[in-house]
Protein backbone atom coordinates (compact mmCIF):
# COMPACT_ATOMS: atom_id res chain seq x y z
CA UNK A 1 0.00 0.00 0.00
CA UNK A 2 1.23 3.51 -0.75
CA UNK A 3 0.60 6.14 1.86
CA UNK A 4 1.43 9.77 1.29
CA UNK A 5 1.45 12.24 4.14
CA UNK A 6 1.43 15.99 3.62
CA UNK A 7 2.47 18.30 6.45
CA UNK A 8 1.83 22.03 6.55
CA UNK A 9 3.81 23.09 9.64
CA UNK A 10 2.88 25.79 12.10
CA UNK A 11 0.19 26.31 14.70
CA UNK A 12 -2.42 26.76 11.94
CA UNK A 13 -1.03 23.80 9.99
CA UNK A 14 -2.28 20.28 9.42
CA UNK A 15 -1.30 16.72 8.57
CA UNK A 16 -3.07 14.86 5.75
CA UNK A 17 -2.89 11.11 5.18
CA UNK A 18 -3.67 9.78 1.69
CA UNK A 19 -3.79 6.00 1.65
CA UNK A 20 -4.98 4.04 -1.36
CA UNK A 21 -8.51 4.91 -2.43
CA UNK A 22 -9.64 5.84 1.07
CA UNK A 23 -10.96 9.28 1.90
CA UNK A 24 -8.10 11.55 3.07
CA UNK A 25 -7.68 11.85 6.83
CA UNK A 26 -6.79 15.30 8.02
CA UNK A 27 -5.56 16.33 11.44
CA UNK A 28 -4.96 19.88 12.58
CA UNK A 29 -1.49 20.24 14.09
CA UNK A 30 -2.17 19.52 17.77
CA UNK A 31 -1.10 22.32 20.04
CA UNK A 32 -0.89 23.05 23.74
CA UNK A 33 -1.75 26.48 25.07
CA UNK A 34 0.07 27.57 28.20
CA UNK A 35 -0.75 30.69 30.17
CA UNK A 36 2.20 32.45 31.75
CA UNK A 37 0.77 35.40 33.63
CA UNK A 38 -0.95 37.53 31.01
CA UNK A 39 0.92 35.91 28.13
CA UNK A 40 -0.35 32.94 26.16
CA UNK A 41 2.28 30.59 24.82
CA UNK A 42 1.62 27.92 22.20
CA UNK A 43 3.64 24.79 21.54
CA UNK A 44 3.12 21.55 19.67
CA UNK A 45 1.39 18.81 21.62
CA UNK A 46 4.17 16.27 21.15
CA UNK A 47 2.23 13.35 22.59
CA UNK A 48 -0.65 13.91 20.16
CA UNK A 49 1.79 14.31 17.24
CA UNK A 50 3.48 11.07 18.25
CA UNK A 51 0.12 9.30 18.26
CA UNK A 52 -0.74 10.55 14.75
CA UNK A 53 2.58 9.39 13.31
CA UNK A 54 2.46 6.07 15.21
CA UNK A 55 -0.96 5.40 13.71
CA UNK A 56 0.46 5.99 10.23
CA UNK A 57 3.42 3.72 11.06
CA UNK A 58 1.10 0.89 12.16
CA UNK A 59 -0.71 0.91 8.81
CA UNK A 60 2.19 1.64 6.44
CA UNK A 61 5.81 1.68 7.60
CA UNK A 62 6.86 2.77 4.10
CA UNK A 63 4.78 5.96 4.05
CA UNK A 64 6.33 8.96 2.33
CA UNK A 65 6.02 12.16 4.32
CA UNK A 66 6.33 15.55 2.65
CA UNK A 67 6.81 18.52 4.93
CA UNK A 68 6.54 22.01 3.56
CA UNK A 69 10.00 23.55 3.68
CA UNK A 70 9.20 27.12 4.60
CA UNK A 71 11.23 29.86 6.18
CA UNK A 72 10.51 32.71 8.53
CA UNK A 73 8.65 35.60 6.93
CA UNK A 74 9.99 39.14 6.89
CA UNK A 75 8.75 41.07 9.89
CA UNK A 76 8.22 38.11 12.20
CA UNK A 77 9.50 38.50 15.72
CA UNK A 78 12.47 36.58 17.05
CA UNK A 79 10.46 34.50 19.52
CA UNK A 80 7.90 33.62 16.86
CA UNK A 81 10.66 32.66 14.41
CA UNK A 82 12.40 30.55 17.05
CA UNK A 83 9.17 28.71 17.97
CA UNK A 84 8.35 28.08 14.31
CA UNK A 85 11.78 26.55 13.68
CA UNK A 86 11.56 24.51 16.87
CA UNK A 87 8.19 23.11 15.76
CA UNK A 88 9.51 22.12 12.33
CA UNK A 89 12.43 20.36 14.01
CA UNK A 90 10.03 18.45 16.26
CA UNK A 91 7.98 17.34 13.23
CA UNK A 92 11.09 16.24 11.37
CA UNK A 93 12.34 14.26 14.36
CA UNK A 94 9.03 12.39 14.66
CA UNK A 95 9.16 11.52 10.96
CA UNK A 96 12.78 10.36 11.05
CA UNK A 97 12.43 8.38 14.29
CA UNK A 98 9.68 6.26 12.79
CA UNK A 99 11.78 5.57 9.70
CA UNK A 100 9.55 7.29 7.16
CA UNK A 101 11.00 8.66 3.96
CA UNK A 102 10.92 12.42 4.43
CA UNK A 103 10.84 14.95 1.63
CA UNK A 104 11.26 18.65 2.27
CA UNK A 105 9.13 20.41 -0.33
CA UNK A 106 9.18 24.14 -0.96
CA UNK A 107 5.83 25.85 -1.54
CA UNK A 108 6.97 26.73 -5.06
CA UNK A 109 7.63 23.05 -5.84
CA UNK A 110 4.29 21.60 -4.74
CA UNK A 111 2.32 24.53 -6.17
CA UNK A 112 3.75 23.78 -9.64
CA UNK A 113 1.62 20.62 -9.55
CA UNK A 114 -1.47 22.82 -9.25
CA UNK A 115 -1.14 25.77 -11.66
CA UNK A 116 -4.84 26.56 -11.20
CA UNK A 117 -4.19 28.02 -7.73
CA UNK A 118 -2.26 30.94 -9.25
CA UNK A 119 -4.80 33.20 -10.96
CA UNK A 120 -4.19 35.96 -13.52
CA UNK A 121 -4.96 38.53 -10.83
CA UNK A 122 -2.26 37.03 -8.65
CA UNK A 123 0.30 37.07 -11.49
CA UNK A 124 -0.41 40.77 -12.06
CA UNK A 125 0.00 41.39 -8.34
CA UNK A 126 3.35 39.59 -8.35
CA UNK A 127 4.55 41.75 -11.27
CA UNK A 128 3.46 44.90 -9.42
CA UNK A 129 5.37 43.79 -6.33
CA UNK A 130 8.57 43.54 -8.38
CA UNK A 131 8.28 47.24 -9.27
CA UNK A 132 7.81 48.64 -5.77
CA UNK A 133 9.54 48.57 -2.39
CA UNK A 134 8.79 48.91 1.29
CA UNK A 135 5.31 48.64 2.75
CA UNK A 136 3.62 48.56 -0.67
CA UNK A 137 5.68 45.52 -1.68
CA UNK A 138 5.03 43.83 1.68
CA UNK A 139 1.28 44.48 1.35
CA UNK A 140 1.15 43.08 -2.20
CA UNK A 141 3.12 39.97 -1.20
CA UNK A 142 0.86 39.39 1.80
CA UNK A 143 -2.26 39.78 -0.39
CA UNK A 144 -0.77 37.34 -2.94
CA UNK A 145 -0.20 34.78 -0.21
CA UNK A 146 -3.76 35.19 1.12
CA UNK A 147 -5.21 34.68 -2.36
CA UNK A 148 -3.04 31.58 -2.90
CA UNK A 149 -4.34 30.10 0.35
CA UNK A 150 -7.94 30.80 -0.70
CA UNK A 151 -7.32 29.14 -4.08
CA UNK A 152 -5.78 26.12 -2.30
CA UNK A 153 -8.96 25.76 -0.22
CA UNK A 154 -11.15 26.02 -3.34
CA UNK A 155 -9.08 23.41 -5.20
CA UNK A 156 -9.15 21.04 -2.22
CA UNK A 157 -12.95 21.31 -2.14
CA UNK A 158 -13.09 20.45 -5.87
CA UNK A 159 -10.69 17.50 -5.56
CA UNK A 160 -12.47 16.01 -2.53
CA UNK A 161 -16.09 17.23 -2.47
CA UNK A 162 -16.99 14.62 0.18
CA UNK A 163 -14.88 16.51 2.70
CA UNK A 164 -15.30 20.03 1.28
CA UNK A 165 -16.53 21.26 4.66
CA UNK A 166 -13.05 20.74 6.09
CA UNK A 167 -11.85 23.63 3.92
CA UNK A 168 -14.78 26.01 4.34
CA UNK A 169 -13.22 28.56 6.69
CA UNK A 170 -10.38 30.94 5.93
CA UNK A 171 -8.36 29.40 8.76
CA UNK A 172 -8.62 25.97 7.09
CA UNK A 173 -5.85 26.83 4.63
CA UNK A 174 -3.39 24.61 6.54
CA UNK A 175 -5.68 21.64 5.96
CA UNK A 176 -5.94 22.45 2.26
CA UNK A 177 -2.22 22.92 1.82
CA UNK A 178 -1.36 19.70 3.68
CA UNK A 179 -3.82 17.85 1.41
CA UNK A 180 -2.27 19.34 -1.72
CA UNK A 181 1.23 18.46 -0.50
CA UNK A 182 0.10 14.82 -0.07
CA UNK A 183 -1.53 14.84 -3.53
CA UNK A 184 1.68 16.32 -4.97
CA UNK A 185 3.69 13.44 -3.46
CA UNK A 186 1.28 10.92 -4.97
CA UNK A 187 1.48 12.62 -8.39
CA UNK A 188 5.29 12.60 -8.26
CA UNK A 189 5.31 8.88 -7.39
CA UNK A 190 2.98 8.09 -10.30
CA UNK A 191 5.05 9.96 -12.92
Containing structural domain, residue 134: 3-189
What would you measure as the largest C-alpha separation in the chain, in angstroms?
A: 53
Does position 93 have pLDDT exceeding 80, yes or no?
yes
Does position 71 have pLDDT exceeding 80, yes or no?
no
Of the two residues 56 and 79, the one the predictor is more confident about is 56
* Domain CATH for 64: 3.30.420
> Of 103, 71, 118, 73, nearest to 7 (Cα)?
103
How many structural domains comprise the chain? 1
Does position 1 have pLDDT exceeding 80, yes or no?
no
First-to-last alpha carbon distance for the chain, in angstroms, is 17
User: Which pLDDT value is given to residue 36?
Assistant: 84
Read off the pLDDT of residues 30-59 as tens digits, 9 standing for 90 and up.
999 988 888 888 889 999 999 999 999 998
Mean pLDDT within 174-178: 97
Of the two residues 76 and 83, the one the predictor is more confident about is 83
> Of 182, 184, 187, 188, nearest to 56 (Cα)?
182
> Of 51, 45, 56, nearest to 13 (Cα)?
45
User: Which pLDDT value is given to residue 145?
Assistant: 86
User: Which pLDDT value is given to residue 74?
Assistant: 61
Tell me if 49 sits within 8 A of 94, measured CB to CB: yes
Does position 83 have pLDDT exceeding 70, yes or no?
yes
Provide, rounded to the nearest whole percent, the portion of the chain with pLDDT above 90. Answer: 56
Nearest-angstrom CA–CA distance, 23 and 32: 28
Does position 98 have pLDDT exceeding 80, yes or no?
yes
Of the two residues 75 and 158, the one the predictor is more confident about is 158
Read off the pLDDT of residues 104-130 as tens digits, 9 standing for 90 and up.
999 989 999 999 888 888 888 888 888
Structure pTM?
A: 0.90
Amino acid sequence: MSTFVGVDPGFQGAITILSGQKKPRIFDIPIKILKKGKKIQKSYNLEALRDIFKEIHQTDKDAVVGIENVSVRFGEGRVSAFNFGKGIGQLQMAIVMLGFEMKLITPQTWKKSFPEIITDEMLKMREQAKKVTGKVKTTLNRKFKELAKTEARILSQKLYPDIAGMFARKKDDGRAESLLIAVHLKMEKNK
